[in-house]
Structure 1
Amino acid sequence: MDLRDTTAPALVGVRRWASRTLTQVDDAHLGDVLLVATELVTNAYDHGQGPVQIRTSHTTAPCRVRIEVEDSSAEHPVIAAPSLKRAGGRGMRIVDKLAADWGVQEHPANGGKTVWADVSCDGVDAVPCAAASRRRI
């Protein structure tokens, strides 16, 4: 999904797009995926000169969803210490808690980067990926 020249209200569209794109992911895990996607895109708006593009991919073995958000800044995201004195700074902490792994791929040619996160469908609430066919939209 191309996000060039968008603003924060585009986050609703990002969530709708991801929900339509990831039909094979069950509702229990889709919530985590949507939250991680929202936090990565918000981080790109706040610190990355705005997002350029968001991509998702899904694998069934192991059951994982990868979210990638590309932006035009070389600045890497950081996990900030929580503080009651500032409104923001919790997004990457949320990503770190919900994602099985996350990282940054730099793009030296254009000075930008892609921040990616893998959200696992495994865990205490695990539902086989095939169960997603029963998902209501």
Structure 2
Amino acid sequence: MTSPAASEPPTLVLDSNDAAPRLAREFLAKQFADWGIADDYLGRLIVCELVTNAYRHGEGPIVVRLRRDEHDGRPVIEVWDAGEGRPVVRPEDHAAVSGRGLRLVAEFVQDRWGVRPLVEGGKAVWAKLPAP
């Protein structure tokens, strides 16, 4: 019999500060290694972008959850924060000095990403990684 704690996805709770993206990358790298996923580059890039957005535009602590899709086994990255604002892909602007991250995430995951509201308030932004 599996205990409820064993079925919980790996989760990391971070303070909303400039160390959060680095800690999220380290957490993802360790979890991918535990899962036997050798190439974690795209996962580290995506978790960094989502956590950075939560730090810059969200509110409260940042929660990172990693799981494997039950149908195809692909990794899914979720980043939660208490902010009510929803991220959007900005139109391409070659003169802008920021604002490209979510566009890159959407392209890298082939538009397999989204936002869902949390019952307790805030949101979860998720991205499903493509097959290797």
TM-score higher than 0.5: yes
Going from structure 1 to structure 2, the CA distance change for 1:68 and 1:104 (only over 3 Å counts) comes to: same
Amino acid at match of 2:38: D
Find out whether 1:81 has 2:91 as its counterpart. Answer: yes
Secondary structure of the residue that 1:35 maps to in structure 2? helix
Paired residue type of 2:42: D
Q: Secondary structure at the match of 1:104?
A: strand
In 2, Cα distance between equivalents of 1:26 and 1:51: 29
Tell me which amino acid in the other structure corresponds to 1:106: P
- Partner Cα distance (1:51, 1:97) in 2: 27
> 1:74 offset after TM fit, Å?
1.5
Change in 2 beyond 3 A, CA 1:51/1:69: farther
The answer to whether 1:104 aligns with 2:86 is: no
**Cα distance change on mapping 1:103 and 1:59 into 2, 3 Å:** closer
1:70 is paired with a residue whose SS is strand
* Runs of 4+ residues over 4 Å off in structure 1: none
Task: Name the CA distance, whole Å, in 2 between partners of 1:15 and 1:89.
Answer: 20
**1:47 has 2:57 as partner:** yes
1:25 equivalenced with 2:37 (yes/no): yes
Structure 1 length normalisation: TM-score?
A: 0.76
1:58 aligns with 2:68: yes
Specify the code of the residue in structure 2 equivalent to 1:68. Answer: E
Aligned twin of 2:7: none
Question: Are the counterparts in 2 of residues 22 and 58 from structure 1 also a CA contact under 8 Å?
Answer: no
The structure, 1 or 2, with the larger RCO (C-alpha pairs under 8 Å, 6+ apart) is 1
Distance 1:84 1:44, change over 3 A: same
1:87–1:50: structure 2 CA closer, same or farther, 3 Å change rule?
farther
Please report the TM-score for the alignment, with normalisation by the length of structure 2: 0.79
* CA RMSD in angstroms, aligned pairs only: 1.9
Partners of 1:112 and 1:59 in 2: CA distance: 23
- 1:49 and 1:86 map into 2 onto residues whose CA distance is 24
Where in structure 2 are there 5+ consecutive unaligned residues? 1-11
Do the aligned partners of residues 114 and 60 (structure 1) sit closer, same or farther apart at CA in structure 2, a change above 3 Å counting?
Answer: closer
Matched length: 118
Partners of 1:50 and 1:81 in 2: how far apart?
Answer: 28
Q: What is the percent sequence identity of the aligned residues?
A: 33
